[in-house]
Structure 1
Amino acid sequence: MPAEFVARSFILVAISDERRRQVTAEGYDAAHDDRHTAGEIALMAASYAALAGRHEIAAMHAWPWDDPLPQSLTAAPRRLLIIAGALILAEIERIDRAAAKETTHG
């Protein structure tokens, strides 16, 4: 297997591990995520990704909450992107669950 694919698989594992941590340590499970239907999770991901590129103003504008950006957003760029990736995963899963409900109940 080419090295680039191995590196990608490690990144995907890191994103998956972060998503698992968000669920188990933070309590951000499917039920929690399903309550955020206005794109808040995607906007959080955008904030983390913007900060990875050191775009603080863009991150503040994307941040979906009234509270200021948390201090944890000062992590290294790679870590911020892993968190953003996990949040994107959470948002895709939320969208898929909503679509499945529409199909079943719709």
Structure 2
Amino acid sequence: MKNGVELIAAERQRQIEQEGWTPEHDAEHDSEELVHAAKCYASAAIANTYSKRNVTYAGYRPGEKAPNQWPWQGSWWKPSADPIRNLVKAGALIAAEIDRLNRIKQNESR
């Protein structure tokens, strides 16, 4: 079984190879979109737990449309019923944002 870091790295690689979310594409998201999307998936992970008690978390209940904070079209909102999968997606989005910010910092230091 892969650990959390391995799962996140594999998801990030999948996003690049299968979805086409390359570093160049990520560079276009300069209004914190990647962080907001990660926050939505992390909230979905928590909501998966709360849903067993019929509670809405952070404005989201599993099975509903994308949260208001979701930065893109609703069709791109693809939460899982598995909280671990949602956390992996959140982690991969955070990793993409860290890489984006590091590239900016590197370019500024040249």
Asked if 1:86 is matched to 2:92, the reply is yes
Q: Which amino acid aligns with 2:97?
A: E
Q: Which runs of 4+ in 1 moved over 6 A?
A: none
Structure 2: distance between partners of 1:97 and 1:44: 20
Aligned-residue CA RMSD (Å): 2.0
1:11 CA drift (Å) = 1.1
Asked if 1:43 is matched to 2:36, the reply is yes
Aligned residues: 96
**SS of the counterpart of 1:38?**
coil
Tell me which moved more, 39-48 or 49-58. 49-58
Tell me which moved more, 76-85 or 51-60. 51-60
Asked if 1:72 is matched to 2:78, the reply is yes
- Unaligned runs of 5+ residues in structure 1 are 1-6
1:47 CA drift (Å) = 0.5
Determine if contact 1:44/1:63 at 8 Å carries over to the other structure.
yes
User: Could you say if the C-alpha distance between residues 75 and 56 of structure 1 is closer, same or farther in structure 2, counting changes exceeding 3 Å?
Assistant: farther
Q: What TM-score do you get using the length of structure 1 for normalisation?
A: 0.81
Counterpart in the other structure of 2:59 = 57
User: Could you say if the C-alpha distance between residues 36 and 12 of structure 1 is closer, same or farther in structure 2, counting changes exceeding 3 Å?
Assistant: same
Structure with greater helix share of residues: 1
